[in-house]
Structure 1
Amino acid sequence: MLSAVTVISIVMVIVTWPCGTILNLSIIAVYVSDWKKGVKLGESDQLSLLMGCNNLLFQCFITILEAFYLYGHCLSIEEKLCFVVSAALIFSISLSFWLTAGLSICYCLRLVNISLKFFIQLKSRLSHTVTPFLLGSLAISFIITLSSANWISYSKGHENITDIYHNNMSIADLSCRIIAVTVGNCLPSLITSICILLSLISLLRHIWRMKQNTQFGSPQLKNLIKACRTMFLLMALNFLFFLIISGSAITQNSMETIWNMIFLLGELSNPSCQAIVLIFGNSKLLSAWTKTVFPQSQHH
């Protein structure tokens, strides 16, 4: 008979996997459709597309690992597959933080006016800095994954998959662990928070000026308020994901604790939550999603 923890885990996987897959596939479909039509994607659109792709892969990796855990003991071929998927998951987690940081940097450069020479040059060359940033993010995530190989290596006699997934950090060398968490999680999270806070301050100032000036219409004001809400949610979600990943790394090797169940739910639902924030924060994505879900309303 299945335990309560196993049943809850199965339900979480069954619910979050299709939700995250459908939501992120819809983001990818919109941008790929525009690309096929010859529409040039802006910097933020490119990052949103990559975030959708990465979230889709993240959802697959974490679902596969959880399925292996629920299945029980790994066979010899499954051990190798678990190792590969675990490494891919670490890569995807680090890349997720850096892509979010990149998107927040784009928002900041567009919304904030700072008289620093470096900031002005970066702002004027935004379209040329996205590619180097992405290559750097991929390189950092790949290096972190390589340095984490000893965390996810294990013998055939391991009892279950939680040694690979939920507690691999506890057996790592302390210095490597600190460097990996700092560069892969802390640094991009700090960049995201600073950029979004600066953007929010700039937007709130602009909203206050608009309210003082009666010549601005309500649609403009609503768009700015929507932008504030989107960036705040993105920052909050990124911070929450950071806490979940950090907490999951230091907890004991047991799926029976309530905290590990909470961490698992947060990890499984993060791709869906991030996709929802991106969709409702982007008029193009929201319009496409609305047409798909409510096609009849478009004819009235």
Structure 2
Amino acid sequence: MIDVPRLMVLRAAAARGSLSAAARLLKITPSAVSQQVAALERQVGVPLVERRTTGITLTAPGRALVATADVIAAELAKAERHIADIAEGTRGRLTVATFASAGQRLLPQAVSALAADRPDAEVTVLEYEPFDAVPKLRRGEADLAVVYHFGAPRPPDDWGVGESLRYVRLRRDPVRVVLPADHPLAGQRTIAFTDLADERWVQGWADVGQLLDHYAAVAGFTPQVACYASDYLFMQSVVAAGMGVALVPTVALAGPAGEVVARRLDPEPVRQVGALYPIGRWHSPLTEELLARLRATVAD
């Protein structure tokens, strides 16, 4: 059987990128870390790390073992919390990761409903984008995550759905174009992307920015960007000021009343909203309870 303490040493070295950094984290000598990794390599019969002057790089077997170590560490963290609940007489704790607009518009009603039925429950909500929320689930630092992705209903392959995480679709979240209220196109119910070729844009970061670039390219133009922003409320305020137009998912629409309008697009981009939670290991019954309330209150 693989030695678990040695496995955790390898995990620390992988997380810190070097044996010496792992030694500082674990409060042991670099020599001891090196010996533990070498002993683990002898045990499994293959190299697990490539040693370089600047640190270490995991081999494919090393990555596989670190992934297993992450699962073990997550299980231990869950067990510690479960034992603490029993020792403290607490009936339930739940940590939820969510992206900002879901935290503002979708999650509160479900959490409120849970709190009404389970006043003993301790719910902690953390704001994280999906690229941060998914690793937190894997490490056992969250019990449930409300996440999004753009495009087809199927979640991204790199989330590991079906392997260590389960995905539950909650709703479609169509993306609208937000315009100043006095914009020439504001009177139309649906606006073609091709009609926006000459506009200046308030462009979002990461996936949102890529969404605009993709649909603009399909429509045959390159966006003229007046402002970059990562906050939808800020983007809508900039639109109200007349600096440009913006793509905003329906759930995040909260522009200044009377100053902006949101219109359907042709073709229509869609943001998919769902929930993720770990499978294959113990999780709080509150996870299922909150998920049921989310499906009842926000599903389309």
TM-score range, shorter chain: under 0.3
1 or 2 for the larger relative contact order (CA 8 Å, sep ≥6)? 1
Instruction: Please give the TM-score of this superposition, normalised by the length of structure 2.
Output: 0.20
Instruction: Please give the TM-score of this superposition, normalised by the length of structure 1.
Output: 0.20
Q: Which has the higher helix share?
A: 1
Q: Which has the higher strand share?
A: 2
Pair member with larger Rg: 2
